[in-house]
Chain A
Amino acid sequence: MIVAKRKPFKEIKESVSGANKILILGCGTCVAVCLAGGEKEVAILASQLRMALQLENQNVHIDELTIERQCDREFIEQINTSVNVDDYDLILSTACAAGVQLLSDVFDHKVVVPGLNTTFIGVAEGPGVWTERCRACSDCVLADTGGICPVTICAKGLLNGPCGGARNGKCEVDPEKDCAWVLIYNRLEKLGRLDKMKKIHAPKRYSVQEHPATIIHEAYKHRYTV
């Protein structure tokens, strides 16, 4: 899932300044799971903004709405069944930044600003804790690294083993974090696959990382080609 965290309140408040009618639009998927931009977080942000603006005697009307997904046109287009987007001068989106952009494409006559900082692709480790697991490098090496990503977990993204800095199995950069290559070594040893670690990995092919990337599924290609 995509993990995000809320922007500092001051920054959000500045980004909505000047608007008299604001729609705070939450997203019910990843950012709801990571407690950053779902229905509850939208309600909290709305109350905070209302209070802060009232204290400054600003007469700003704020509405709240959360849709299932902001990264999909079908869901965004349904917004108009609940609210009239044209009633608002600004939409504050608490989706991930991909959702914010699609929203801005669909309503390209509206000001759309983000309420979150999109941070990583990760997993839920336990209640309230998420960790980064993938940098979407488009050339996955997990088959050789015991299912542990060196591109993401190693602070230097090293592909052929550890640097000389790991201290008692912890990364030189942060004693709280495990050294990716010690984790990989232990996992591969457990799996009886240490030969995988002995293989020399060629440098990463950045050419396969298209930016901005597009994927068109085989079955749909005919729709998009002339």
Chain B
Amino acid sequence: MGQSFEEALTSGKFLIVTSLDPPKGTDLEGIAGVIGKLKGVVNALGVYDNPRALMYMSPWAICRLVIEQGVEPIMHVTCRDRNRLALQSDLLAAASIGIKNILCVSGDHVMFGDHVDAKPVHDIDSVHLLSAAKALSEGNDMAGNPLKGSPAFCLGATANPEANPLEPQLIKVDKKIQVGASFLITQPVFNMDNLKRFVDHVKESKVKVIAGIDLLVPEEVPKYRDGSYPGLFVPENLLEEIAGADIEKCVNVAGDLIKQIKSANLCDGIHISAPGHEEKIPDILKAGGL
């Protein structure tokens, strides 16, 4: 597979990652095709864990498929659906099938999803999950019990540079870095000043920042506006631009954001989110000059 994602993180190379929704059901054909198309295009392929609290297949199974297709996966793990026992068990299981990169997230609230009556677990938060994964890597579980064989994880976390106010986010992000996050994948960014403030704050640490780029599409504009996508704060002028746009225009808007990030030399990479439009990712990269 050549250079691993962890090695690539420290190599100084500009990284390209994306994440996919697992299938709802057992049919793997569609997702296998998407993975095949992204091979060689991205440095690593994330797999969401019940994104927006919609029930899908567990991400470890798709991460395994990603590995089998010769791509390196990043498994998203949310604290919303499992308690500390189940989370640690799944981390060990993931390690046993070759998954190394773990993205620890709190998880969108249950009310956004398709099982609104489910109990939101949140036994531990993303800071705790990072330290739990770190502890496992060091040979112990959260309770301090020794492990027989321990994983070697490369740990990531999320953050939102577009948060307003930003300061509480920054305090949380510092904690994530402190407990072992070596990379951050941000929520979609639109405003370079906000991204710069964020990056300036974390640049003292060795953490790598992978900026979120969303492919905005006209049919979703009402949802972007009404807060249906938690953590996605699209500026009004961009919403207006997207509202009547065709897909090529949307691709160019995402490409422009990449160009701005690249030219300001703000980040170590980008994470493209284009749910349902993954086939456009190579075009987005091209539009972004990558």
Contacts and interface: CB of A to CB of B under 8 A. Distances in A.
Interface in B86-130: 106-109, 111, 120, 122-128
Q: Which 10 A-B pairs have the closest CB atoms?
A: A161-B172, A164-B160, A165-B230, A172-B230, A164-B231, A185-B168, A160-B127, A163-B106, A203-B124, A165-B231
B158 interface: yes
Contacts of A181: 168, 172
A182 B165 contact: yes
A160 B125 contact: yes
Interface stretch (A42-50, A105-113, A150-158): A150-158
Contacts of B122: 156-158
B171 A185 contact: yes
A200 B168 contact: no
A159 interface: yes
B109 A164 contact: no
A172 B168 contact: no
A173 interface: yes
B109 A161 contact: no
A198 B169 contact: no
Interface of A: 155-169, 172-173, 175, 181-182, 184-185, 194, 197-198, 200, 202-204, 206
Contacts of A206: 123
B234 to A, nearest CB: 11
Contacts of B109: 155-156, 165, 172-173
B135 to A, nearest CB: 12
A182 B80 CA distance: 21
B167 interface: yes
A164 B158 contact: yes
Interface string B158-180: 11100111011101101100110
B84 interface: yes
Interface string B119-149: 0101111111000000000000010000000
Contact of B163 (A156, A162, A184, A194): A162
Nearest to A197: B171
Contacts of B142: 203
B158 to A, nearest CB: 6
Given A160-B127, A203-B84, 7 more contacts: A156-B106, A158-B122, A161-B172, A163-B106, A168-B164, A172-B108, A172-B109
Nearest to B129: A203
A75 B72 CA distance: 68
Nearest to B161: A164
18 contacts: A155-B109, A155-B120, A156-B120, A156-B122, A160-B127, A160-B172, A160-B175, A162-B163, A162-B168, A164-B106, A169-B165, A172-B109, A175-B227, A185-B165, A200-B179, A202-B128, A203-B84, A203-B124
A165 B108 contact: yes
Nearest to A204: B123
Given A155-B109, A203-B84, A167 B168 contact: no
B163 A166 contact: yes
Nearest to B178: A200
B172 A162 contact: yes
A149 to B, nearest CB: 14
Contacts of A164: 106, 158-160, 163, 169, 187, 230-231
A185 B164 CA distance: 12
B14 interface: no
B255 to A, nearest CB: 24
B277 to A, nearest CB: 22
Contacts of B169: 161-162, 164
A182 B168 CA distance: 7
B233 interface: yes
Contacts of A197: 168, 171
Contacts of B165: 169, 182, 185
A200 B231 contact: no
Nearest to A151: B122
Contacts of B159: 164
A122 B224 CA distance: 34
Given A156-B80, A164-B169, A200-B127, A169 B174 contact: no
B175 A200 contact: yes
A24 B187 CA distance: 55
B163 A158 contact: no
Contacts of A204: 123
Contacts of A198: 171, 174-175
A172 B231 contact: yes
A87 to B, nearest CB: 42
